Amino acid sequence: MSISFIITSYNIDPFIEKCLQTVLACAQAGDEIIIIDDGSKDQTPAMIRAFAKSELPEGVSVVPVLLGANTFGGVGIAANIGLDHACKDTVFFVDGDDWLNPEGFKRCRDVFEARNVDFLLTNYQVYDQESDACTAPADQERWAKIRSGLSQAERLDLVLSFIAVPWRKFYRRSFLQKAGLRFPEGDFFFEDNPFHWEVCRKAQSFSFFNQVICYHRVNRPGQTMESTGAELLAFFTHYETIIAPLAAGDIPLRTAAMRWLVNNMSWHLNRLHPDTLRSWGQRAMGCLQDFDDILWERFIAPKYAGQPIANVCEDLRAGDLHAFLQDRNLAALSEQMTQLQNDMRRLEHHQQSLRDLTESQCNAQEYAAFLALYKES
């Protein structure tokens, strides 16, 4: 089995070398490494050129594609260009600022080849650049739900609930081609979400393997996951893309899509910039009001009862944008007050430390003066 590694990059010269070297450590004879640079302005293109000219393992080829100008939106266009160049049995995407786990990758590669499925979903670790620490992803607990005996509908619902990123999956290229699967292209980010849904819906077979295959870097400047503004509105566009092909009577998938949107809206709440609140609320209101009332009351509302997102959804489903904005402003004020109180406590602690230090210095000076008098006497 051969693999087309598709690496996308944009202004990541501090990280691209580590990524490329770990991909190289995973590549075998017959594999190709396709690197799509999306118009980087730093040294990333030069580093890619140097890598392409370097000594490679026998039978491994490198295909650098330097676009020269940044395409609009996220990685959708660059990823599709990578798919156009791919010619091996299997497709594996890589974020240019991440790095692979060669030992884990080999295990997953062997499993994918043995199971002969359309795609294999694996695990990963999140690397926080600020804290220099690795943690499990937010969907880690879902692995415990995987067991033998699940129906196809239950397995589909489960795989759709995992974080949608493409760089945790092995894809059979012939499956992607036959199903006509491509990333949506447009002036938006997070396009891996509708791609994940289409892949899961159209796959005839898929499998899970709980093995860490890569390390995903977060909390670096310029990263999409740090979004706080209008780019988050893309989730509503993606929801509309996801539900568009679903039959009216497809209750399981429509329910899953509703749950997907509310989950992401919950993630948005503490990230939204105040300037984005109104437009976000308007887009959310349009989608929420289209939710089927019976499905909402039976499957969605009970799941989020007592959570902050529950009040948001109820306000917006009722068309009360004013109440939503008022509640979010109050929540922001409350958070600011809490932060101010914490800052005051830290300041008081610092002042007390200074008072203790001053007192100690005074005591030391008094003791020194006493010793001097004692010696004179």
Looking at the structure, tell me whether residues 51 and 87 fall in a common domain. Answer: yes
Does 241 map to a domain? no
CA distance 80 to 183: 6
264 and 217 housed in the same domain:
no
Query: Can you tell me the mean pLDDT for 11-40?
Result: 96
- Examine the fold and report which residue of 226, 256, 282 is the final residue of a domain before the chain moves on: 226
Q: How many domains does the chain have?
A: 2
User: What pLDDT is stored for residue 222 in this prediction?
Assistant: 61
For helices 16-26 and 102-115, what crossing angle results, to 10°?
Answer: 50
Helices (H) and strands (E) in the chain, counts: 14, 9
* End-to-end Cα distance, the chain: 94
Q: Report if residue 231 sits inside a domain.
A: no
Q: Are residues 17 and 158 in the same domain?
A: yes
How far is CA 88 from its chain centroid?
27
Does one domain contain both 124 and 191? yes
β-pairing verdict for 119-128 and 206-218? parallel
Same domain? For 79 and 142 the reply is yes
Domain membership of residue 240 (yes or no) is no
pLDDT band at 228 (very low <50, low <70, confident <90, very high): low
My answer on whether 148 and 184 are in the same domain is: yes
Residue whose entry in the numeric block shows the structure tokens 């600011």: 336
For 213, the token pair is 């295959």
Instruction: Tell whether 286 is covered by a domain.
Output: yes
Distance, CA of 120 to CA of 142 (rounded, Å): 16
Q: What is the mean pLDDT of residues 96-124?
A: 98
Phi–psi pair at 11, nearest 5 degrees: 50, 55
Q: pLDDT tens across 121-144, in order?
A: 999 999 999 999 999 999 999 999
- 368 and 294 in a common domain: yes
pLDDT above 80: residue 357: no
Q: Does the pLDDT of residue 232 top 70, yes or no?
A: yes
Residues 216 and 168 in one domain: yes
Task: Express each pLDDT in 315-344 by its tens digit.
Answer: 999 999 999 998 887 766 666 667 777 777
DSSP class of residue 71 equals P
Triad 45, 49, 52: Cα angle to 5°:
135
CB 239 within 8 A of CB 287: yes
Question: Is the distance from CB of 160 to CB of 260 less than 8 angstroms?
Answer: yes
Tell me if 221 is assigned to some domain: yes
Residue in 206, 205, 166, 170 with CA at minimum distance from that of residue 184: 166
Q: Which amino acid is at 250?
A: D
- CA-based nearest residue to 36, from 63, 16, 54: 63
- Structural domain span for residue 355: 247-377
Compute the distance between CA of residue 256 and CA of residue 289 in angstroms, rounded to an integer.
16
Region 44-53: mean pLDDT is: 96
pLDDT tens-digit readout, 234-261: 999 999 999 999 998 999 999 999 999 9
Q: What is the DSSP string of 4-71?
A: EEEEEESS-TTTHHHHHHHHHHH--TT-EEEEEE---SSSHHHHHHHHHHS---TT-EEEEEE-SSPP
Residues 122 and 252 in one domain: no
Q: How many other CB atoms sit within 10 Å of the CB of residue 224?
A: 13
Task: Grade residue 273 by pLDDT with cuts at 50, 70 and 90.
Answer: confident
Burial class (CB in 10 A: 0-12, 13-18, 19+), 117: buried
Task: Output the pLDDT for position 286.
Answer: 96
Is 277:325 a contact under the CB 8 Å cutoff? yes
The verdict on 367 and 252 lying in the same domain is yes
Query: Contact, 120 vs 199, CB < 8 A?
Result: no
146 and 199 share one domain: yes
